[in-house]
Chains A and B, each alone.
Chain A
Amino acid sequence: MRAHGELIEVPGAGATDHICWVYDQDDATFDRAVRRFLAGGLARGDRLLCIGERVLACLAVEDDDFAGADALLGSGALRTMTTRQAYEATGVFAAGTQLAYYRAATEAALADGFTGLRVVADVSPLAADPGVREELVRWEHVADSFAASGAGFTAMCAYSAELTAEALTEVASVHPLAHVSAEPTFRVFFDDDRVALSGSVDTFSADRLARVLESSPVSGDGAVLDLARVEFVDVAASRVIARWARDLDARSLPLEVQGASPVLRRMWRVLGLADVAGVRFAA
């Protein structure tokens, strides 16, 4: 199982890292976290990509974790972009174009002899706009799938603490690991190619879960939803899962649900959700 939950310190670098970090403006913890995340990538042999002014500011701090940014820039092991440059590089913001950009950049890093591409990006401006935020959440979910697939792409997504609590909850809940003051009530992340749900989803957060599931990349073999770490789902959340199954079914993609509690399965039967779409329940 991929590590998930609340993050206090940047963990040792792994091949599928995708973490969310909420920072304050004068936040030395953030500087250290970024540098530690980058140092872990360097040790693995990754190419590093830093995006956004606040992230770039971290590079100037000198400490033990990460040093010699100038030399790395010169050798091509480190690349930097301001937020504006990143917008221009990736084009109109959409999950699909983002994935295409980062997939190409990861493949280029591999072709250049690096282990992969390790990105630290401040995405706050996108999260601030509620219209763009929906697409951002979709992209984060797609990015998590890409990171979990072991393609060589890893990322730390930085968000300003000045964003609304709602925005921070939304973005944190699509990362397996997040450093955020208010823990999201649920998380959706990828574990290999399974979609894993943890925490609690009720009537008041069910729509948010629906939007995330809708954007889940699903292979031709169908989808697997792992509910083993779910603390609680209510009727509304169960119906969201059933509707996702129905939408997958319309694309001839089966859904297997793993780790559902006995109560959830009884609820499924009582409400006739099996009639919405066939779901295979497995242990």
Chain B
Amino acid sequence: MTTALEEPAPGFEHEALFYRGDEDFLDGLLPFVREGLALDEAVVVAEPRARLELLRDALGDDARAVEFLDMAEIGQNPARIIGAWDRMLRERTAAGRRLRGVGEPAFVGRREAEFTECRLHEQLLNTAFDGGPSWRLLCPYDEVHLPRAVVRGALHSHPFAGTTAGRRRSPEYSPEDLDGLFGAELPRPPDAVLRGVYGAADIPATRRTVAQYARTIGLPEEKVETLALAASELATNSIRYGGGSGAVSMWATPSAAIVQFSDSGQVGDPLTGRRMPSLEQEGGRGVYLVNALCDLVQLRSSERGTTIRLTTWR
């Protein structure tokens, strides 16, 4: 990577950075951040807490001009991250600043289902921001500790990829992966699953059934109410847009409570629920709200129908 000031390229530049260890991480990030500061760009770093502190310390005085966000918080559910970048991009662009971001959604320690969603999220970033205002987003990947599949996925989801030795266009970048990822079947639930079907008259009953289940397995009251709200919104979506009826499934694992809604409708836009709906827009709020409130949301849709799986960590 060069530290010389370059004229920024137009468009959205989405780049993966593969690093090996803390020193390598800093070798890659420090020039990227400082180049942005030198160009008077608005630099925002979204990293898990430990990496964020590492970078902040290494930046010294320069850290004051950088905005730091805890990726484990804003990106706990990866489907929230595009909304966060979208808001920052709009705000900075409106203020006449160019945005330069660092985002490490697929950090070490994530659960498998979260890595799956990070993969879809990284792919969708291109859909969301290609053709919009120009900005750069650098996504660090820990090549040493992450599962191989996660690293390989990043080569597919980023048009640019590199190491501290230099960056290049990723020959493996494959935007066409999106349909397969968005239409994929989620892993099958275990045997012990509670199932029910709902129609137009059953929204309150569905909400109460989900709340009752969440209480029974010992979730705290605020999570119970959150799931009840999610159930109401998602079941309502099935009635309105998903063929008029749907099915709810609920099961528990040692680490999570899972509630899943399925219907026969198809969600045409894979970005549904990832960006803040405008105030006057009629639909599109339910999934956005669910993304914001739930620990992990997995939306899949194809000609076969739509499934939304909500995971609440215990």
List residues of chain A with CB within 8 A of the CB of B232: 202-203, 232, 234
Are B289 and A185 neighbours in the complex by a CB distance under 8 Å? no
In the bound complex, what is the Cα–Cα distance between A232 and B233 (angstroms)? Answer: 12
| Number of A interface residues in the complex (CB < 8 A) | 18
How far apart sit A234 and B233, CA to CA, in the bound complex (Å)?
7
Instruction: List, in ascending order, chain A residues with CB within 8 A of B236's CB.
Output: 202-203, 234
A218 to B236, CA, bound (A): 33
A235 B289 Cβ-Cβ under 8 A: yes
Interface size class of B (residues with CB under 8 A): 20 to 34
Please indicate the chain B residues that have their CB under 8 angstroms from the CB of A271 in the complex: 277, 285, 288-289
Contact of A232 among B207, B277, B289, B292 (CB under 8 A): B207
Decide if B59 is an interface residue (CB 8 Å cutoff). no
B203 at the interface (CB under 8 A from A): yes
Quick check: is A276 within 8 A (CB to CB) of the other chain? yes
Is A266 an interface position by the 8 A CB rule?
yes
Interface residue ranges of B226-243 to A (CB < 8 Å): 226, 228-229, 232-233, 236, 240
Residues of A within 8 A of B229 (CB): 232, 234, 263, 267
Q: How far is the CA of A200 from the CA of B204 in the complex (A)?
A: 9
Contacts of A82 in B (CB 8 A): none
The residues of A that contact B277 with a CB separation of less than 8 Å are 271
Complex Cα gap A272–B83 (Å) = 13
B225, B229, B285, B292 — most chain A CB neighbours (10 Å)? B229
Q: Is A111 an interface residue (CB 8 A)?
A: no
Chain A residues within an 8 Å CB radius of B289: 235, 267, 270-271
B contact residues around A270 at 8 Å (CB): 288-289, 292-293
Q: Which residues of B contact A204 (CB under 8 A)?
A: 203
- CB of B286 closer than 8 Å to a CB of A: yes
Q: A234-B232, A235-B289 are in contact. Are A202 and B225 (CB under 8 A)?
A: no
CA distance A202 to B203 in the complex (A): 9
Q: A12-56 interface mask toward B, CB cutoff 8 Å, 1 = contact, 0 = none?
A: 000000000000000000000000000000000000000000000
- Write the nearest CB–CB distance from A186 to chain B, whole angstroms: 11
Minimum CB–CB distance from B239 to chain A (whole Å) comes to 9
Residue of B nearest to A243 (CB): B279
Q: A235-B286, A235-B289 are in contact. Are A202 and B222 (CB under 8 A)?
A: no
In the bound complex, do residue A266 and residue B204 qualify as a contact, i.e. CB atoms below 8 Å apart?
Answer: no
Please give, as numbers and ranges, the residues of chain B lying within 8 Å of A258 by CB-CB distance: none
B193 to chain A, nearest CB (A): 25
Question: Bound complex: CA of A266 vs CA of B292, how far in Å?
Answer: 9
Residues of A within 8 A of B226 (CB): 263
Q: Mark A254-277, 1 if CB is under 8 A from B, else 0.
A: 000000011100110011100110
A235 and B279 contacting across the interface, CB-CB below 8 Å: no
Which of chain A's residues have a CB closer than 8 A to the CB of B276? 272
Interchain CB contact under 8 A, B222 and A262: yes
> Which residues of chain B are near A267, meaning CB under 8 Å?
229, 289, 293
Are B286 and A263 in contact, with the CB atoms below 8 A?
A: no
Residues of B within 8 A of A272 (CB): 276, 279
The answer to whether A202 and B279 have CB atoms under 8 Å apart is no
Interface 0/1 of A179-200, CB less than 8 Å to B: 0000001000000000000001
Closest-CB distance, B3 to chain A (whole angstroms): 39
Chain B residues engaging chain A, CB cutoff 8 angstroms: 203-204, 207, 222, 225-226, 228-229, 232-233, 236, 240, 276-277, 279, 285-286, 288-289, 292-293
19 contacts between A and B (CB under 8 A): A202-B203, A202-B204, A202-B232, A202-B236, A203-B232, A203-B236, A232-B204, A232-B228, A234-B229, A235-B286, A261-B225, A263-B222, A263-B293, A266-B293, A270-B292, A271-B277, A271-B285, A271-B288, A272-B276
